[in-house]
Amino acid sequence: MAGSFQTVKGFRDFYPEQMALRNYLVDAWRRVSIRNGFVEYEAAMLEYLDLFRVKSGEGIVSELFSLVDRGGRELAIAPEITPSLARMINARIGGLPRPIKWFSIPHVCRAENPQKGRGREFYQWNVDVVGSDEVLADAECIFTLVDLLAELNLSPADAAVFLSSRSLLAAALASVGVANEKHEAVLPVLDKRDKVPPEAFEEMALKAGLEAAQIDRLRRFQDSTTLAEAIGYLEPTDAVATARAALEEVLKLLGAMGAGDYVKLDLHVVRGLAYYTGVVYEAFDSGRALRALAGGGRYDNLLELLGGPKIGATGFGMGDIVLGILLAEKGKLPDFAERCDCFIIDAGEGMFDDALAIVAELRRAGLAAGFSYKRQALGKQLRAAGQKGAAIAVIVGQELRDRGEVVVKDMATGEQAPVARAELARELQSRPRGLAR
311 shares its domain with 406: no
317 shares its domain with 354: no
Alpha carbon distance 270, 279 (integer Å): 10
Q: Identify the domain boundary among 305, 329, 353.
A: 329
Give the helix/strand (H/E) hosting 58.
none
Closest CA to 313 of 144, 168, 98: 98
355 shares its domain with 289: no
Q: Identify the domain boundary among 329, 364, 385.
A: 329
Q: Is residue 412 domain-resident?
A: yes
Determine the average pLDDT of the residues in 50-55. 89
Determine the average pLDDT of the residues in 111-136. 94
pLDDT digits (tens, 9 = 90+) for 91-104: 999 999 999 999 99
In the predicted model, is pLDDT for residue 59 greater than 80? no
Confidence of residue 433 (pLDDT cuts 50, 70, 90): low
Determine the average pLDDT of the residues in 128-154. 97
Q: What is the DSSP letter of 99?
A: S
312 shares its domain with 354: no
Give percent of the chain with pLDDT exceeding 70. Answer: 98
CATH of the domain at 353: 3.40.50.800
The answer to whether 295 and 283 have CB atoms below 8 angstroms apart is yes
DSSP 363-378: HHTT--EEE-SS---H
Confidence of residue 437 (pLDDT cuts 50, 70, 90): very low
Query: What is the pLDDT of the chain when averaged over all its residues?
Result: 93
Alpha carbon distance 354, 157 (integer Å): 54
Quote the number of domains for the chain.
2
Confidence of residue 339 (pLDDT cuts 50, 70, 90): confident
214 shares its domain with 319: yes
What length does the chain have? 437
- Model pLDDT, residue 435: 38
CATH of the domain at 220: 3.30.930.10
350 shares its domain with 311: no
365 shares its domain with 217: no
316 shares its domain with 369: no
7 shares its domain with 138: yes
Give the helix/strand (H/E) hosting 311.
none
Residue 349's domain comprises 340-429
284 shares its domain with 350: no
Q: Identify the domain boundary among 300, 329, 358.
A: 329
Q: Is residue 63 domain-resident?
A: no
184 shares its domain with 306: yes
Among 50-54, 129-133, 149-153, 391-395, the minimum mean pLDDT is found in 50-54
The answer to whether 326 and 159 have CB atoms below 8 angstroms apart is yes
Confidence of residue 273 (pLDDT cuts 50, 70, 90): low
Q: Is residue 64 domain-resident?
A: no
In the predicted model, is pLDDT for residue 206 greater than 70? yes
Alpha carbon distance 260, 316 (integer Å): 18
354 shares its domain with 301: no
In the predicted model, is pLDDT for residue 163 greater than 90? yes
